[in-house]
């Protein structure tokens, strides 16, 4: 069994937040890792729902704010809907997924968690111009 560390980073590599999940298989797909991360962060939020959600993707009816999302009402989230949204965000380049020293470009890529136990997520912010 392996322990993976999920880390959020800025585009310059500065760590923002991280948490670890133990007892995972030694090899998983990138898709499974994204879904595991989302399931864990939603479970932590649902244990004590509030008006602030720190997660990979924005829940429906939430507003983006510094370091997370402002919920209109404190409510339980559906982790599967959030995980589906995360997969869709990955497909449209909403965030980068880095494992070790390589960028994952396909969610079906297998990842050896013994060799590369740190998975970094870099959210990409669209530029505003005019």
**Domain architecture of the chain: domains with CATH:** 2-48+78-123 (3.10.20)
- Write out pLDDT tens, residues 34-74: 999 999 999 999 999 999 999 999 998 889 887 789 999 99
| Per-residue pLDDT, 126 | 55
> Which two tokens mark 8?
């959020």
φ, ψ of residue 109 in degrees (nearest 5): -65, 130
> Which two tokens mark 109?
């890529």
Q: Is the pTM of this model over 0.95?
A: no
- Contact indicator for 17, 120 with CB cutoff of 8 Å: no
For residue 90, give the 3-state DSSP assignment: helix
């Amino acid at each position: 069994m392996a322990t993976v560390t999920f880390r959020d980073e800025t585009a310059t590599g500065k760590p923002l937040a991280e948490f670890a999940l133990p007892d995972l298989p030694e090899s998983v797909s990138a898709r499974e890792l994204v879904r595991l991360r989302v399931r864990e962060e939603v479970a932590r939020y649902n244990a004590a729902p509030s008006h602030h959600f720190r997660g990979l993707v924005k829940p429906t009816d939430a507003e983006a704010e510094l370091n997370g999302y402002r919920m209109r009402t404190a409510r339980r989230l559906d982790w599967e809907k959030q995980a589906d949204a995360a997969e869709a965000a990955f497909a449209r380049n909403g965030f980068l997924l880095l494992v070790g020293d390589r960028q994952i470009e396909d969610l079906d890529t297998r990842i050896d968690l013994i060799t590369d136990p740190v998975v970094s997520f870099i959210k990409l912010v669209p530029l505003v111009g005019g």
